[in-house]
Structure 1
Amino acid sequence: MSRRFRGMRVRPLTALQAAAAVAVAVRLARGRTRLPPLSAAPETPLSETRTEAAGAGEISVVIPARDEEHRIGACLTAVLADPDVAEVIVVDDGSSDGTARLAAELGAKVVTGAPLPPGWVGKQWALRQGVEAARGDVVVTLDADTRPAPGLAGAAARALERYDLLTVGPRFVCDGTAEQALHASFLATLVYRFGPIGPAAPPAPHRTVANGQCTAFRRTAMLETDGFARIRGHMTDDVALARSLAAAGWRVGFLEAGGLLEVDMHESAAEVWREWGRSLPLRDVTSPGWQAADLAVVWLTAALPVIRLAAGRPTRLDLALLAVRLLLTGALRGSYARPGPGVLLSPLLDPLTALRLTQATLRPVRTWRGRTYPDAATGAGTASATGTGTGTDSGTATGARETTTAGEVTTESGPPARPGRSAAR
């Protein structure tokens, strides 16, 4: 069917594609005013200054780990050598390999994780225990597959003068052409849906994004709000935490930090397809309406132009969108430690990426590292932040309650949960 619009016959699909193209253009335009990347101070290490103006104090690094013996060594070696870091805590979350032994041999403090309580996802439970065990004013959490450069922890601590919760974007290590191509295609969908990292104006809480591979916050404030209990049942833990705390009034930042952090997430294209494709739809933290809108944007502006080009029937709008995608491809090269032909080939995989996101949205997987978790919508992640039966003695919960309404993270609380400027002190 078609309709008249200012004397032209416009098909509904073309109208929808044009609307999606406008949405993508608006999001990409935010890149012109985005905030500068996180960078290390060139002068005195933070450990020698400890100024309140920097929002600093001792820094504890917490690394949750489950069967990470083959990956955690490089991360620990790097962070243990950082002069800004006062202690490194590895929370061994029931590993069946030599993760705990290796961490202890390298010099980290190993916390043996308590049994996983009902309703909790393993990472959130491990992080909560690590934060409780930390002694630093500032906590920086890292995944075991990260490769931090000297100065990352200090730079993150200084950024807490502007933010209450900070996450950063790394450079990715993808060695194979197929792995890099698929990874870059997935990464492009995030930009199309949310815009570039480091927006000058913070997004609405329900559209906030984050990267849990590296997170920084003040320990006292996180314990007081019991942040990880708020999102205990969410598989997309990083975005769930950011959205929950942003809704509670926290200043949440997401900055580029490729010069200070690299991440080797996956070992093959098959693993990228299986694992990253599983989490990128953000299904458990996004309402059905926004899920549908995000998928429509990906299909109409990224996948459809490639399909039509392959069929030899691209429209002028398709060609314009392909040109935009090629420009984004050039910009994404900076997101990789060793960009190769895979990044340039990534637009060809956009239809497959759209298919994977659709599949993961319709048939979500809640299995991770040998554990299968109940669907968050059935009650996981919706219990009160107090009375969790965790066996801890922190006594820090404030009575805030996290619920899942229409798939989105919301927060109900008594007193405002935003931390004060003296929270770290």
Structure 2
Amino acid sequence: MGAMVDQQGKAVIIKNTMAAYGYMAVWIFLSAFVIMLNKYILDPKLGGFPFPLTLTAIHMLFCAVVAWLLVKVKLIDAPAMPSDVYIRCVLPIGALFAVVLGTGNAAYLYLSVSFVQMMKAVMPLLVYTVGTAFGTETWCVRTGINLAVVVMGVAIASYGEVVFVLVGAAFQAVSMLSEATRLTLVQVLLQGRGIKLNPITTLYHVAPVCLMFLVLPFAWLEAERLTSQEWKVGPGLLLLSAAAAFALNCSIFLLIGKTSALTLNMAGVAKDVMLIYLSMTLYGSIVTELQVLGYAMALCGAYYYNLKKMQAAMAAAEAAAVKAAASSDGGAQQTAAKLPGAASGNSSSSLQQQQQQPLLRGDPEWQQLLPQVRDKALQRQV
């Protein structure tokens, strides 16, 4: 009987693991597909639709409508958003999201996909730096050294870029800085108030705001050219891009909780390397040996930072599990003391003594408690 239970448990573990890696493969494919498709659409030499704000607005309109439908038909539960929280939190986050997407898409007018991915290697430590400024992270020398290594690697990769366009690099830098600030504000303004949003409910609340903030720059920068120039890209391809962007958010929603943050980070590295290869193969991007050296240096620094961050999160989760186990032990003692006959010498005293025993790491109770508490602690730490 025990062997059968063990086999069933192993089968469940294998099934869950395969599902997690399946979701991860879908996420990698969709992420690469969206980036490569957007590059094709926006590049004047390829798709010939040089309107990044228009493309971003189409994405946000599509995402807002579909997210609204999913919430209204009760497939997704969206938490209530008080008006004061909406004004103080959602509006600035939506404005930053518009900057992130608009400038990020504009960078593809000037830069290759491969170089953009190399620049993105600095993102984890950029988030850390902004978090330090907002007080959500604590500065330390070791992380500062990590930051210097990553920045140096990206600088070397930039120096080795054959077609370096300062305007495009500036657009990408603004996009990454805005994204780091947005992620920090989500932590400070929303999570600090106990509001938890998944990617779909985030789009439900943020996409309409993002679309609103895109209207004015669109009218000022692109509306006249959009109506006066002939499009090379048909509306079907624009709709496909929007649908793929929404599907990418859905894949992130499915992936949450199925694997660790470190695994996701490493999957992101694999995706970036794949995008660099696809950019070279499909779009003829040139990657020099100096760029490979700089990118490798940046990746090593980013990997070390992510590894140390995960180790710290695991240590905090372990400490939380020990504390929860101790609390559970104390509650068991109080419960046993209230049992009928606890003060007498009858058989219930043996139950009391059993429940007063502390939870040890090898005990089944510990094994059941640790994963639950660790997962909750990791969600708070990562």
Is the structural similarity TM-score above 0.5?
no
Q: Which has the higher contact order (CA 8 A, sep 6+)?
A: 2
TM-score, normalised to structure 2's length?
Answer: 0.28
Give the alignment's TM-score, normalised by structure 1. 0.26
Pair member with larger Rg = 2
